[in-house]
Amino acid sequence: MVGTFRYYPNQTVRSALTGRTLAQPGYPYNRAVQIGGYAASSLSTIRVGQWFTVGTQLLRVTEAAALADSNGRVTVSFEPELRVLYAAGTAVEFVNPFGVFRLATPNSPTYTLDPDRAPDFGTIQAIEAF
């Protein structure tokens, strides 16, 4: 249970969005943020089910505006809720989203070999590290 690791989820919905930041602070227990860095009234290209990272927290889009507002901001709803305070200007990662986790149990699983002699490492249990 010592140390942390980054988990990069498999994505069925991919994005090429770069250079996005929080337009306003993201407060703990909130499930929505405003993301800046868009041209006024441009397409957001954010889709439901898409993963993204704010700071070091992995989040999944549950709802997003199709167009940016006149200030170049897009409101995005997600789950789970934010765990810590993120300042305005915090980077938002859509291309390679990740979360920081640690093992939930002190014993690391050992591997076994299946009939074809391929290793099976079992399932690890991890929790978010914040």
pLDDT band at 108 (very low <50, low <70, confident <90, very high): low
Over the stretch 77-104, which tens digit does the pLDDT of each residue have?
Answer: 999 999 999 999 999 999 999 999 988 8
Mean pLDDT score, 50-72: 95
Spell out the alpha helix ranges (H) of 44-117.
none
Give me the number of domains the chain comprises.
1
pLDDT > 90? residue 122: no
Mean pLDDT score, 53-59: 95
Burial 65-92 (b: 16+ CB within 10 A, else e): beebeeeebbbbebeeebeeebeeeeeb
**Which CATH number characterizes residue 49's domain?**
2.40.30.290
Domain that includes residue 76, residue range: 5-128
Percent of the chain with pLDDT over 90: 67
Q: Given this model, what pLDDT does residue 109 score?
A: 62
